[in-house]
Structure formats: C-alpha cells, structure tokens
Structure 1
C-alpha cells in the first residue's frame, strides 16, 4: 500500500485558482414585441403559479376556463380582473382573438382539449407530463405541424436557475462533453399524505416528480442517445404515505452515464445536489431544496468560480416556458421546449417505470406507454 507521501489516490489540485464567472445567459426570455391574447384552461392549484408569473411578465390573459366556475372566478379576481370566465373550455377556444392557450388539466383530460385547441388554430402550452402514450404525443406533434402551430410543454424545470445555467454552460463547451451527471435529492414530500391524487399514484416519485429530472437529463446530454435504463422504487415501514418514497435510476449512454437518487421522505436535513462532470471540467449546484439553489460552482483547468444565481424555480420556470413559446412564435421557429423534443424525456420516464415495475433493464424508445402499477 502507498503512503500519504506517495500521493496515492490524491489529486494534483489542477485548476485550484479562481477564474471570472463565465457570462451565461440563463434567465427567462420573452418576445421583443409579440404580446398575444392568452387563454388559460384549467384553474387547479398549479395555475396560480402560471398566472402569478404571467402577470409579472406583463402578459395579456383575457380568458380563464374551468368546469368549476368558482375556481376560474377566484383566479380571475386575483390576477386578471378583466378576463372572461367560462365553465366550458370550448367557449374559450371559440374566441378568435385568443392566439395562445395554456392547458393545465391532468393528462387524461388534457388530450382532447389539446386536439380541440389545435383545431381552433391556437398555439398551445401543455402541462407536463405531456401525454401517457408516445403515439398519441406524436399524433399531436404532427397535427400541430400540419396547421403551422407551435406546441410546447410546460417542463418548467428547464428554467430553474441552476438547471438553466448548467444547460447553457454545457452549450458553450466550457466543461467539454458531459460524461457523468449525478442528481441526489433528499426532500420532505409528506404533505401528500391522505391526498388521493398522490396517494393513488404508485410512481409518485419516478413519474410525477422525476419527469423534470428525465427532462433536464435530455437537455444536458443533447447529442448523446441513451442506450439502456435501470430503475427501482422502494417503500419502507414508517412512511406517512402509500407510494414508494425511495427511487433511483441509472441511464447508460455509449460513453456516459446519468444517475438519479431520490428520497421523498426526508424529515431532517433536506438537500438537493446536481453534479455534471465533463471532459474539460465540472459543474456543481447544491442547496437545501429544488427551489433554493443560491450558488453553483464551475471547475476548469484554469480554476474555479462560484456563480451567484438569480431567481428561483417557481418564478423563472413558469416565466421561461411561456416566454420561450411566445418567442418561438415571434421568431417563427420551433420552441426549445417543443412537444416533439419532450417526447425524448417521456421515453426515459416510461422506460424507467417499466424497469422499476419489472426489475429489469429497459430500452428508451421501446416502452410506448406509461404503466401506472407494478405487475
């Protein structure tokens, strides 16, 4: 065995100096002049964050539809007092002056609404997860293309400050090609106890939550195709809710690997860490939660920098998704959060759930549907 003097197992401390913080444009963008009339369909809890941030952006929401009209009225009065309210979404879609609709209901209810919105010649921002069947998703993508419409997905995690900075930094080549990505999250999600929408969702972690991490993994690993995936989900005695609180996943590429570890029942000492190691450097973000990642670090051969981050997930994220859709309409290009792009994220998610359900390796792209229950 070597001694400490041999330097066995010790780094030579390359890049231990300080460098200037690289200028990376990671904040949400919005159009220069395009500000269309927007309609919101679905006034559930998440819609509050949508409208709060649209108001901050100066966007023009003119109509809100929800089958329980009182919910639409409450949101209208809180954010857009002049907006019209409807209990039938078709009435909203019949309004010719509305160009963009934000559709927030759950996937089963959302699919026919998206179809009707496209038939009504509206650009669409769909809530995540986009669809539960890849073929249905591809059909919607084709339908939008045939009508010359933009169809985007509200994968708002892409604009969380730390994820957005990392995504854009990778594009500059500052850390070279990513060879490993590690997500390690320990958080307290016991607030879902006795809430049927979550208690009845077996893969609450891998599906409802981790969809954001599958999505950002696709962004980080752009240009590299996943070859296989292995995932697991574990429930333990003493949990306060029914779905497994522990989950993990390994995604293999030809020359890279993405690893995810989740504990959604961390009552003390919550932490969220993301580390991306590339061929030329490393990016790392650490904080007590996904909405609280105040700084991140960049390590290169020239040295390291601590990057102050502006904003938070629940602000930047919701501004980023709609802002990118509107900007893509103004510039007549595909949005970076297009439904077509998001299908790659769903391929990872569906394959991970297939793997966890059957305790075997799955191939992304070969699992076409979301399988909710363990076989």
Structure 2
C-alpha cells in the first residue's frame, strides 16, 4: 500500500458518541471559600447550572459581597471560613484558594464532615497529598480535586476516545499551546512564581497525560524553560517537556508569551488509530476532533471553550459521586500522578537533566 493511500482514498465516516457530563440527582448546598478570579468563573458556572451556593467566604469581605450581589443574592457572606465549616446546612465546601494555604483548610473541612472540592494544583508535596487522601478515607465524606482540564470539552472527548479503545494503546502524544499568558498575568501575584507555566497552568496537561496513561509508569521527564525578549513578566514563558514511558513518548510545548495568536493542538497516536485537534489554547474553537482508525474517520464536535464547561464538569461529577456513593473522577490519589510528572519537569528544567518522576516528592 502506498504511504499516501489514506490521503488519496475517500475515508468512510463513522460516529463516536461522547457521553454527557455526570449530573447530580439532588440539590446540594455549596459554600465557596475564596472569591477571587477563578472563584468567579466557578460561581458563574454553578449559577448557569442552577446549583445552590448558600455561603460566600473571603478574607476580603467586599469580594464576597460582590459575588453575592452579582450571582447569589440569597447566600450569606463571611470572612471566616470556620463559619462555613460549622454550618450544618452546607454539604459541599469549594476551596478556590491558593495552594500555599489550601491544604490546611482542606484538612479542617474534612474533619468538619464536609464534602470538599479542592482547587488545583492539589498540593506542593506528595506527602501532603497522601495525608489528605488518608484523612478523606477515614470519613464518609468525599474529597475531589478541581483538575477541571479533565472536563474541558476537547480533553474530555479525547479521554473517552482513548478509554473506549478507538485508537488502541497510545504510543505518542504531542500537545502544543500558543497564547499571551504573560499579558494576562501581568500584575498578578502568580506572575512572580518561577514555575508559573509548569505548575499553575501546565498541570492540566500533566494531569491529562497521567489519566491517558493510567497504569503506566513514566521512566523520565526532561524539560527546558526559558524567557523570550518580548514577554512582559520575568518568569519563564517557554516550556518544552518530553516524557518517556519506554514504549511511548509525550511532548508538551507551552508558548506562553505568544502575543499574536491563540492556538492549541494535540496529536495522539495509538496502535489502532489517531486522534487530533487544531483549535485554540483553551479548546476546540468550533473545530472538530478528528479520529481515524480502521473504521474510517469520525469528526467529534464539542463545546468550543474550556470555560465554563470544565467547571460544570468537575462540580457536577462531585455532586453525582455523592448522590451515587461512588468515587469522583477527580480523586486526589489520581491527581498525585500528574503532580509527579509536573514536579519532575520543574526539577529537570532547573538541573538540565532527565528526572525520574518517582524520585521527586515536592516542588
């Protein structure tokens, strides 16, 4: 068969059905702790879904008050999260807090008997994550991590394609993102964090890779991180990562000071097919995901953007998990695997050497 026969032949079209996000069957009462930028995106998504946010908490009370006026006028506001944890009417606590203070609040919420949604990245040390996992197991409440990239429509569909065996076992996966993150983050405290791109942003890609390769152990991670002449923040905005699984390889390329474009792509090749997308930095941008295998080609249309769909997915899944007494998709244990890849990439970018992710326990 000529190497270009696929391009020269009409390909039969077939359909791949992507299931809807898990949905709750009962009304839950949510308290949002942390009314910053990401908290606003989450709260807006919950309002669109008709979910009940009964409490808004922020150390800067005026921010909670702003959320109350704009989104949930019936919610009460407080500057003290202990008020929320002692409220028996609250059954889910959503912690949209920075990672340096969040684990202690997760611990307090679990001890108070609440179901918890922890913002990502989950922890700064694997040992902290394991401690929270163990604490959650001791009670009857549920801990989930808001790794919302799992429910970003273009990634959610990719996970379904892989999980259902449409392309066989993955042998390579390449992800590329170009966007002006430096302009977006200018003036934000996170813009001073050395590993802004690898840890705060690319954690979604590391987490996705960990879920796609669930059950397989990466052998090494090699990464480079540097700055560009035109960027407006001083931390590295160019990050290139290569992950070796032995019989499979992954590349993740973050170009976070691209001032004249917003694009993203992935190409995931398996033993029986391939899934690919040319879209935007945060979604499909109205372009279909293409899957080619022995059946022909399937074009999967998905909601074009990450926001707010991904946040509807994470919280809806947690609520559904509580209702059906199952584990959520964003289990804290599963999130630790992506963190190990992330920590290894950060260590490699500093040392200039490949790093075994099993040997790195913290940033």
Same topology, TM > 0.5 = yes
Shift of residue 80 of structure 1?
A: 1.0
CA distance, structure 1, for counterparts of residue 266 and residue 89 of structure 2? 43
1:23 aligned residue: 17
CA distance in 1, matches of 2:123, 2:329: 18
Shift of the alpha carbon at 1:292?
4.2
The structure 2 residue matched to 1:306, chosen from 292, 295, 299, is 299
* Per-residue deviation, residues 309-354 of structure 1 (Å, max 9, x unmatched): 1352112100011111111111112111011110111111111101
Deviation at 1:223, TM superposition (A): 2.6
Give how far 1:165 is off.
0.5
Post-superposition Cα deviations, 1:148-207, rounded to whole Å, max 9, x if no partner, equal: 221111111111111000101111111001111100111111324641513311112111
Deviates more, 1:71-80 or 1:15-24: 15-24
Given that residues 16 and 303 in structure 1 are in contact (C-alpha distance below 8 angstroms), is that contact kept between their aligned partners in structure 2? no
1:218-269 CA-partner distances (Å, limit 9, x unpaired): 1111232211111110113332211111111011112111111111111223
Secondary structure of the residue aligned to 1:325 is helix
Separation of aligned partners in 2, 1:84 and 1:205? 35
Given that residues 232 and 249 in structure 1 are in contact (C-alpha distance below 8 angstroms), is that contact kept between their aligned partners in structure 2? yes
Contact 2:55 2:75 in 1 (8 A): yes
Instruction: State how far apart, in whole Å, the 2-side matches of 1:108 and 1:351 are.
Output: 19
Residues 253-332 of structure 1: pairs in structure 2 closer than 5 A: 253-294=245-286, 295-310=288-303, 312-332=305-325
Q: 2:67 maps to which residue?
A: 75
What TM-score do the two structures reach when normalised by structure 1? 0.93
Residues 230 and 257 of structure 2 are in contact (CA less than 8 Å); yes or no, is this contact kept in structure 1? Answer: no
Specify the SS of the correspondent of 1:20: coil
- CA shift digits 1:23-59 (9 cap, x unpaired): 121x322112x22211111111111111111112121
Give RMSD over aligned pairs.
1.6
Residues 257-312 of structure 1 deviation map (CA, whole Å, 9 limit, x = unaligned)? 11111111112233200111001100001113314432111111221122211352
Q: Does 1:358 align with 2:354?
A: no
CA distance in 2, matches of 1:211, 1:156: 10
Assess if the C-alpha contact under 8 Å between 1:285 and 1:293 holds in 2. Answer: no
C-alpha contact 1:277 1:283 (8 A) present in aligned 2: yes
Extract unaligned runs of 5+ from structure 1.
1-5, 371-375
Which residue number in structure 2 is paired with residue 373 of structure 1? none
Work out the CA distance in 2 between the residues paired with 1:293 and 1:229.
30
Change (3 A) 1:193 1:293: closer
Match of 2:130 among 119, 126, 138: 138
In structure 2, the residue matched to 1:333 is 326
Aligned counterparts of 1:239 and 1:250: Cα–Cα separation in 2: 24
Match of 2:146 among 144, 154, 161: 154
Deviation at 1:365, TM superposition (A): 2.5
Distance 2:101 2:260 in 1: 37
Report if aligned partners of 2:283, 2:304 keep a CA contact under 8 Å in 1: no
Q: Distance in 2 between matches of 1:170 and 1:90?
A: 42
The whole-number CA distance in structure 1 between the counterparts of 2:296 and 2:57 is 53
Relative to structure 2, which stretch is displaced further, 113-122 or 281-290?
Answer: 281-290
Count of aligned pairs: 361
Q: Counterparts of 2:257 and 2:133 in 1: how far apart (Å)?
A: 37
Structure 1 partner of 2:217: 225
2 CA distance for matches of 1:61 and 1:194? 31
Q: Which residue of 2 aligns with 1:248?
A: 240
Partner of 1:168: 160
Alpha-carbon distance change, 243 to 74 in structure 1, aligned in 2, over 3 angstroms = same
Which runs of structure 2 are paired with 1:98-137 in the superposition (5 Å)?
98-137=90-129
Paired position in structure 2 for 1:3: none
